[in-house]
């Protein structure tokens, strides 16, 4: 049972990334007269969770999207669960760049909005306080405003990939996972094979960071497929696959008014990672984002959002200053000085 639950959590990590492609190519999609299909689907996926949506897309400004792959099970239940994919996408209509920034799920972070001073693994934020706490916690961690969010549960990945006719990816290693072998080289994968490609971690020399790179490769492949003629012909089927599994606070009316401004971003997608250091806290394994790494990631994000650079100052950087001997290699003990850092035992894999 433990292994089965672990597998489910592994492959949910990147599934909602395809919706980013939907946002980026919407302007072109409307030319193909499927406006009402898109509107109907977005109305079913739209959930503000009591927050006022950003107007960044409406105004044609650079914007950020927090992408959450949530561990919630099937049956369309995506209101609670641990967000085991954490990615901030920045979309800049002036530079025509879309950059996906992966953040390790085990990163120690403050749970912003909790009623006590609480440090947890970052993927607990969605479970504790939904998209509102997840947006606030990651905003504080990396020092940028988070304009929108996207979540998807584990139920939609295989259907989604099959809906676009599969994806083509290039694997830099050969591995077998869940009785499916992915060989080194370029391959066209169906939904089930894509799950394997995106889920595997333990046979990757780069571990979870290698898996993040494969997840990012898949969203680029899905985007490429969607902007092709064949991909657009499958659009209605894809939207139906996303409806029960996705929630977002991107208003459909903003997609209509702003979609054309971001059209070129769909063909210029790159990837970055926040690199953490291994740490042990209260007997559990964490990732610690050093102050230097946080500042580098923050300023890269801020540059894409056309915000001035700044020095990160938050609970994480203050704790880093109180742990001068920690380096993640020679010393992996990290002191949180009495803060609550107890984490859910089912997520310590």
**pLDDT greater than 80 at residue 233:** no
Lowest mean pLDDT among 28-32, 135-139, 197-201, 288-292: 28-32
Residues near 338 by beta carbon (within 8 Å), at least 6 away in sequence? none
Please calculate the CA angle 11-67-292 and round it to the nearest 5 degrees. 105
**pLDDT greater than 90 at residue 161:** no
* Dihedral (Cα; 309, 314, 319, 325), 10-degree rounding: 0
Domain segments of the chain: what residues? Answer: 42-274
For the chain, give the mean pLDDT: 79
**pLDDT greater than 60 at residue 204:** yes
Residue bearing the bigger pLDDT, 266 or 96: 96
| CB 306 within 8 Å of CB 251 | no
DSSP conformational letter for 262: G
Long-range interactions of 324-330: CB distance < 8 A, separation 24+: 326/277, 326/279, 326/288, 327/277, 328/276, 328/277, 328/278, 328/279, 328/288, 329/277, 329/278
**pLDDT greater than 90 at residue 206:** no
**For the chain, what's the residue count?**
349
Residue in 166, 147, 21, 151 with CA at minimum distance from that of residue 86: 151
Q: What is the pTM of this model?
A: 0.78
| pLDDT tens string 246-285 | 889 998 888 777 666 787 787 788 888 898 999 999 888 8
**Does residue 108 sit in helix, strand or coil?**
strand
Strand pairing partners for 64? 90
CATH superfamily assigned to domain 42-274: LCP protein (3.40.630.190)
Residue bearing the bigger pLDDT, 21 or 114: 114
**pLDDT greater than 80 at residue 220:** no
**pLDDT greater than 60 at residue 342:** no
| pLDDT tens string 37-75 | 778 888 899 999 888 989 999 888 999 999 887 655 433
The rounded percent of the chain whose pLDDT value lies above 90 is 36
DSSP conformational letter for 314: S
Residue bearing the bigger pLDDT, 76 or 63: 63
Lowest mean pLDDT among 27-36, 116-125, 196-205: 27-36
Split at pLDDT 50, 70, 90, the class of 34 is low
Residue bearing the bigger pLDDT, 242 or 291: 291
Q: Give the residue-averaged pLDDT of 296-319.
A: 95
Residue in 216, 176, 212, 210 with CA at minimum distance from that of residue 196: 176
Residue in 345, 329, 305, 331 with CA at minimum distance from that of residue 90: 305
* Residue 152: per-residue pLDDT: 76
**Does residue 140 sit in helix, strand or coil?**
helix
**pLDDT greater than 70 at residue 237:** yes
* Residue 156: per-residue pLDDT: 65
What is the distance between the terminal CA atoms of the chain, rounded to a whole angstrom? 13
| CB 84 within 8 Å of CB 11 | no
| CB 156 within 8 Å of CB 245 | yes
Residue in 121, 135, 152 with CA at minimum distance from that of residue 64: 135
**pLDDT greater than 70 at residue 33:** no
- Diameter of the chain by CA atoms? 61
**Does residue 175 sit in helix, strand or coil?**
strand
DSSP conformational letter for 46: B
**pLDDT greater than 70 at residue 21:** no
Alpha-carbon Rg of the chain, whole angstroms?
A: 19
**pLDDT greater than 50 at residue 4:** no
């Amino acid at each position: 049972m433990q292994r089965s639950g672990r597998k489910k959590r592994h492959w949910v990590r990147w599934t909602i990334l395809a919706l980013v492609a939907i946002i980026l190519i919407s302007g072109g999609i409307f030319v193909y007269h499927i406006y009402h299909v898109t509107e109907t689907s977005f109305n079913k996926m739209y959930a503000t969770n009591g927050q006022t949506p950003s107007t960044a897309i409406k105004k044609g400004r650079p914007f950020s999207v927090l992408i959450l792959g949530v561990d919630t099970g099937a049956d369309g239940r995506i209101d609670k669960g641990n967000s085991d994919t954490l990615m901030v996408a920045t979309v800049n209509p002036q530079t025509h760049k879309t950059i996906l920034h992966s953040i390790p799920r085990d990163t120690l972070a403050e749970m912003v909005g909790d009623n006590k001073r609480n440090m947890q693994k970052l993927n607990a934020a969605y479970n504790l306080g939904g998209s509102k706490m997840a947006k606030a916690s990651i905003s504080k961690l990396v020092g940028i405003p988070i304009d929108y969010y996207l979540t998807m549960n584990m139920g939609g990945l295989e259907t989604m990939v099959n809906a676009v006719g599969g994806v083509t990816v290039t694997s830099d290693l050969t591995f077998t996972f869940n009785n499916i072998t992915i060989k080194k080289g370029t391959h066209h994968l169906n939904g089930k094979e894509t799950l394997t490609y995106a889920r595997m971690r333990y046979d990757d020399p780069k571990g979870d960071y290698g898996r993040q790179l494969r997840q990012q490769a898949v969203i680029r492949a899905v985007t490429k497929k969607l902007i092709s003629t064949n991909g657009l012909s499958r659009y209605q089927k894809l939207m139906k696959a996303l409806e029960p599994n996705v929630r977002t606070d991107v208003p459909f009316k903003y997609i209509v008014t702003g979609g054309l401004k971001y059209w070129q971003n769909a063909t210029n997608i790159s990837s970055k990672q926040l690199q953490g250091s291994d740490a042990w806290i209260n007997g559990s394994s964490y990732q610690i984002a050093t102050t230097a790494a946080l500042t580098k990631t923050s300023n890269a994000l801020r540059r894409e959002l056309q915000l001035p650079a700044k020095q990160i100052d938050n609970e994480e950087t203050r704790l880093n200053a109180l742990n001068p001997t920690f380096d993640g290699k020679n010393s992996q003990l990290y002191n949180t000085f009495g803060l609550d850092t107890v984490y859910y035992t089912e997520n310590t894999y």
